[in-house]
A and B are shown apart, each in its own frame.
Chain A
């Protein structure tokens, strides 16, 4: 089986674009990724398109109507917040399988403002506030409280994640927000569900990202290996059964399983990873995923954030892009945007936020319900 390379990749600056269409946003990133490697839609053999909000409305085909209807296979993918990474992985699988040599993956989402999941029910009554909370800030507050129960993790430690990622975003011109948020500001912002304050919640934004994936043979033929990044590991898992899974969405066992499989495929361990873009949909989640991804021992995530190891310049920088917390989280685009960030560092093109000497990077996303995708990328 051929190794698979990312030869072209880009994302739009995340923001709010209510006047545009989802296909227009997707098309923009698609053209940026094609331009990144000097190719056109006529060179692509298939399109894998990730979008959650309009799943079932053939967003991929609509993207082609904007950039060129060449008649290629289009697969439309929805997998909650793991949607973009799932489209990327499906593209990777198609090359691994030997079916195609060069394909395009697009992730796109138009979100609008406000909290996810508040729509009314056509039958019965909403259980929100009667049977606990199903809002995402609360779901991920429960995840943080589970960690606090086991290890004594503090509100301040969770809040530090937000301080760090907001700081990182000041160095990323493609981030939605680029504003420092000192610890007292994070801790004193509106409480959503303890310990997540408003500044510890990711930003719902519109956005798109796209990648061109290619077989080794084709990349050589095109002379495009120089800036290429090799996909060394790819894993996508669903949530394995745990007892608390009956009452709480699981993001832990599913991440541990995906990480294990991705590390095994890549023949590397957490100690080999130079930087990580992980799913910081809420500040609580980032700390717990330090352990799920194995970059520290169980119970040591609080100390790891305290030590500064996961900040730019530290031993294992996490979410140097600003993360979902500040760069923004357009569901279907996030998975590919994370891969864009890692690729940019591996290429040495990340400017002020460059992780020096980065050779291997890891991306992680989770979708509620649950799905988890982990990719391990290496400088070619």
Chain B
């Protein structure tokens, strides 16, 4: 296998375990319990400053739409429109991403969503492909 046909994660917190499903990695502060994105070694907690370490956690693949905006103009070359959203994952963790396959009439604050993993659709200058997470409505009737 060469470097060019290895799928890479778009962000370090997107985990691609061999022979298993992708997941979003988080960590829980052992001092205050805040759920943070990513499992890379942190020196201390940004919320409490605590240095009691973190417990890695697989973040939920369901959540709700905290915020959204339809982006109709972006940087040159970026395909528009797309829906930029902030999702609060069930059980903790919050992150920004694209919402896709949503029926326009169903787009609303608090919409239950699910996380899906897919090809990011863009390669880097060395032609490497990437896996990204995306959000979709959790309920079939809210999907396109």
Contact = CB atoms under 8 A, between A and B. Distances in A.
A246 interface: yes
A163 B60 CA distance: 44
Contacts of B103: none
B124 A135 contact: no
A241 B95 contact: no
A125 B7 CA distance: 12
Task: Classify the secondary structure of B's interface with A.
Answer: strand
Contacts, number: 123
Nearest to A144: B69
B94 A247 contact: yes
Given A129-B78, A241-B46, A190 B36 contact: no
Contact of A135 (B8, B36, B71, B120): B71
Interface in B34-69: 34, 36-37, 46-47, 66-69
Interface residues of A, number: 36
Nearest to B135: A132
Contact of A193 (B11, B71, B96): B71
Contacts of A130: 10, 97-98, 120-122, 132, 134
B75 A132 contact: no
Contacts of A195: 69
A138 B69 contact: yes
A123 B74 contact: no
Task: Classify the secondary structure of A's interface with B.
Answer: loop
A248 B67 contact: yes
Given A124-B130, A130-B132, A145-B67, A118 B76 contact: yes
A352 interface: no
Given A135-B74, A145-B69, A198-B73, 18 more contacts: A115-B75, A125-B123, A127-B132, A128-B78, A129-B74, A130-B10, A130-B98, A131-B98, A135-B71, A137-B73, A138-B84, A141-B69, A146-B66, A193-B70, A194-B70, A244-B94, A246-B36, A248-B67
